[in-house]
Structure 1
């Protein structure tokens, strides 16, 4: 593996792309540089795990590394410097899978995923405020308060002791907002397909990526001064003081792009570039075996057809190959005749629109 090692023989890398979960305590991440240290307090509990999501992404078997030594070094540099990774490559090559690989290997818990579309704005990733729901809750509370004692049922009598609906009950932090909560160890945040966003979103992200903090204006104006809000983790909440959220450990941010557009220089300056390469024949066979548990009889011929189509310049994804390989394992399915045509349909060139 490339890259210098310390004089005492230790390796500066904490990530090696093995995909294996820690057998004991998770590896300790290196200290951040002084300019990437943040002051978040109110430490959150360790995030939950999501083994089912990792299983869907990585398969039940050993993960097959798709990263070379230089790419592994780039990932480790991003971890050391607390900088986002900007991952490019053709669609379906496995860019987003890297987030789940990092999370499993470093023991960082559930991956927070922010899927980008053309209408996505920065606030969508930070938080959502249900103003209508709060107005309805306040109206219902006021209706109970205005009842006379004679009009109140026993249930309503209990209701009159309720406080007004808390503002925090109507605020939910998004994936980016949750990732920037203060945790003892960083969260993994996947910003998927940023190149599909509005032209302003990358520039809007600059302040958050640089400062590791943001404000929730609705909570800043709240006279209570402190609120408990929902987070992107199901069933979890977090306390926010004075409407401000600041991380303690900058999250491991992976931003994927299919190369459909260029990003501003100021945005690229804050990221480390990582280009994903197409898997080799041996890697494809191992990926199929890892996801299906064993190698189907026709897998080698199918992989050769897949590679031939890719080399001809078509647009194909690993998901197509896995779907076709899985179909051949169904009892009674034959790969000749109608079955062969169905396999060809699954492995079609996605660039042709049908």
Structure 2
């Protein structure tokens, strides 16, 4: 493909893996396929940015793509099709960082993180209900009524002091917040799903397919709407009739260290992305983006790191960054003792120590 056809084909890519912050108008995403369109109401305001978190993960902007062309295409396909990314790869290769790379480059605001452990349930990601706190608040409200009026049915002072609202004791989790009706998609990081209970991937199927969920406590409540806390600091959202439905399906980055297989029904709903170890040029770019400069020993350490990986060792990017930072500190010497310390920092993680 060449000429006008090549130029037209290039237009489907909105993500280029540089992490460059958009200037001026935010990048426009493709219209969702008909089977991935939703109609959630009411629309949520634009989420806040968290540049400090992005800086910790990504450092400053660099022009070199942090993914290979094939991986970039898979991410763009997931964006176009509104499907979750199931990202696998060695520990420390940068799987979770991908969520921050997408969010910064497309101007999608704060990344919502859902960190998975063996006890995590679907409800943990959707919402929590502080039933005990509400019971205590209601008891305190009732205790504040005038003592002489407590026996009269018409003596309740709702007009002057309403009872505690149910929504005040409900907080949406990372997944629940990501599924609110935003005009532009939120970025949700589901970190290390392979650590979960065996049922969680299957429990996720309905939510990933329908882009919606219900909060039973609010469904049973007589009110038509409730104001609830959300996963952004100090944020609130209106939930109508106990049901949440997205307007734009979130960009979901699910990471796995490959500790177990997922059910076929779950994998069918995701696009798989195997994260390779970055190339030498990408590693140097990552070092520069994090340290703001290229230290004198950076190239030698990157070459040593690449050799360790090529020899079959298990190593992570943060080990390389730690080693470069260490050798850049003041009067650090790479003599026998210094080399021994570097070998400890760059040790093979598969050997247990």
TM-score category by the smaller chain? over 0.9
Superposed displacement of residue 63, structure 1: 6.0
Give the deviation of 1:10 after TM superposition: 6.1
For residues 244 and 133 of structure 1, the distance between their equivalents in structure 2, rounded to whole angstroms, comes to: 23
> 1:83/1:135 Cα in 2 relative to 1: closer, same or farther (>3 Å)?
same
Partner of 2:141: 141
CA distance in 2, matches of 1:63, 1:191: 27
CA contact (8 A) 1:288 1:322 kept: yes
Correspondence 1:154-233 to 2 at 5 A: 161-233=160-232
Give the Å deviation of 1:145.
1.3
Normalised by the length of structure 2, the TM-score is 0.93
Shift of the 243–117 alpha-carbon distance from structure 1 to 2, 3 Å rule, reads same
Aligned equivalents of 1:32, 1:103: Cα separation in 2: 18
Alpha-carbon shift at residue 61 of structure 1 (Å): 4.0
Distance 1:61 1:27 in 2: 17
Deviations 1:41-89 (A, max 9, x none): 1000000001001101111241642322222111111111111011111
- Normalising to structure 1: TM-score of the pair? 0.93
3-state SS of 2:147 partner: coil
Describe how 1:3-42 pairs up with structure 2 within 5 A: 11-42=11-42
In 2, are the aligned partners of 1:126 and 1:173 still within 8 Å (CA)? yes
1:280 alignment counterpart: 279
CA shift, 1:5, in A, is 5.1
CA distances 1:309-329 after superposition (whole Å, capped 9, x unpaired): 212222110011101111122
Q: Distance in 2 between matches of 1:13 and 1:116?
A: 31
Q: Which residue number corresponds to residue 235 of structure 2? A: 236
Q: Secondary structure at the match of 1:145?
A: coil
**Range that drifts further, 306-315 or 92-101:** 306-315
Distance 1:8 1:254 in 2: 28
Tell me whether 70-79 or 165-174 shows the greater mean CA deviation: 70-79
C-alpha contact 1:61 1:291 (8 A) present in aligned 2: no
What secondary structure is seen at the aligned counterpart in 1 of 2:278? coil
Q: Once the two structures are superposed, what CA deviation does each residue of 1:265-313 show, in whole Å capped at 9, x if it has no partner?
A: 0000000111111111222122112211112222222222222221222
Residue aligning to 2:304:
305
How many Å apart are 1:332 and its aligned residue? 2.4
Tell me, in whole angstroms, the C-alpha distance in 2 between the residues paired with 1:234 and 1:5: 46
Aligned residues: 345
8 Å Cα contact 1:5-1:12 kept in structure 2: no
What's the offset of the Cα at 1:337? 3.4
Unaligned runs of 5+ in 1: 150-157
Q: Tell me the equivalent position of 1:78.
A: 78
Q: CA deviation at 1:116?
A: 0.7
Tell me: CA distance 1:215–1:312, structure 2 relative to 1, closer, same or farther (3 Å): same
Deviations 1:205-243 (A, max 9, x none): 000000000000111111122110000000000000111
Tell me: CA distance 1:147–1:77, structure 2 relative to 1, closer, same or farther (3 Å): same
Over 3 Å counting, the alpha-carbon distance change for 1:170 and 1:5 in structure 2 is farther
Q: Report if the CA contact (8 A) 2:18-2:66 is conserved.
A: no
Match of 1:46? Answer: 46
Equivalent residues in 2 for 1:52-131, closer than 5 Å: 52-62=52-62, 64-131=64-131
SS at match of 1:326: helix
Separation of aligned partners in 2, 1:307 and 1:125:
38
The Cα shift of 1:146 comes to 4.7
CA RMSD between the two structures: 2.0
What CA distance in whole angstroms lies between the structure 2 residues aligned with 1:7 and 1:59? 31
Task: Measure, in 2, the Cα distance between the counterparts of 1:71 and 1:126.
Answer: 29
Structure 2 CA distance for partners of 1:80 and 1:8, relative to 1, 3 Å: closer
Q: For 1:277, what is the secondary structure of its paired residue?
A: coil
Select between 132-141 and 58-67 the one with higher mean Cα deviation. 58-67
Gap runs ≥5 in structure 2: 150-156
CA contact (8 A) 1:6 1:12 kept: no
CA change 1:228–1:309 in 2 (3 A) is same
SS of corresponding position for 2:144: helix
Q: Retained in 2: the 8 A contact 1:184–1:248?
A: yes
